[in-house]
Amino acid sequence: MPAFPGGRHAGTVVPLDRRNVDTDAIFPKQYGRSTARSGYGPVLFDNWRYLDPGDLDSDHAARRPDPAFVLNQPALRGATVLLARENFGCGSSREHAVWALRDYGLRDVVAPSFGDIFRQNCPLNGVAAIVLAPPAVDRLFALAQGAVLRVDIDLHARRLEAAGESWPFPLAPRETLLLTEDIDWIGATLAQRERIAAFERERLARQPWLDRSLPG
């Protein structure tokens, strides 16, 4: 099942007004002892989300949530879009960070910029990393101030809409394929087989010696 059937998603925004959020803040290293891709939602933003520390043996349902942390606001329960500041997902290449976001229920992360590896991991795991210009992100934070903000994201049109306003964002065709079709990187490459074949034909027409068999 693709992450974004039809290429659209509408959801409530969690405004995380922090810069340079690294992957250890998203998913603390003490929980990364499994390669399973599920079960990490309760430890998303663990050090900010709870008042008491946790470990692998913790009953997270019994831990004390920090009421000041945005994810714990009652009005934002069930939110599916995370709004952040620049350089979100910097630090290590920990794929568990994206797994935790998706397991919690977040489908999109909107920010002015991302850590490179984190952004590459997002579409592979059903999370859209949406890059908006800083003024657009500032405007979304302003709209979310003291109110519950809903956005509509169209991956094919590459536009985000909120409160009657609209902003464009870049998204590579391969990222769109990964998010809207039930495929992986290999499938995304094979979807371009006609273009690949055309390139090979054109290349051999220019460089026919490349088609020569090696001596036995």
Name all domains of the chain by residue range, CATH numbers in brackets: 5-170 (3.20.19.10)
200 pLDDT band, cuts 50/70/90, is confident
Confidence of residue 36 (pLDDT cuts 50, 70, 90): confident
How far is Cα 165 from Cα 71, in angstroms, rounded to an integer?
Answer: 25
pLDDT in the model for residue 196: 78
Output the DSSP codes for 46-115.
Answer: HHHHBSS---TT--GGGS-B-TTSGGG-GGGTT--EEE--SSBTBSS--THHHHHHHHHT--EEEES-B-
How does pLDDT run across 185-196, given as a tens digit for each residue? Answer: 666 666 677 877
User: Which tens digits make up the pLDDT trace of 162-186?
Assistant: 999 999 999 998 899 899 987 666 6
- Confidence label for 67 from pLDDT (cuts 50, 70 and 90): very high
pLDDT for 172 equals 93
Check residue 183 and give its pLDDT.
67
Q: Report the relative pairing of strands 165-168 and 159-162 from DSSP bridges.
A: antiparallel
Residues 6+ apart with CB under 8 A from 74: none
pLDDT in tens, 115-146: 999 999 999 999 999 999 999 999 999 999 98
What is the pLDDT, as a whole number, of residue 187? 65
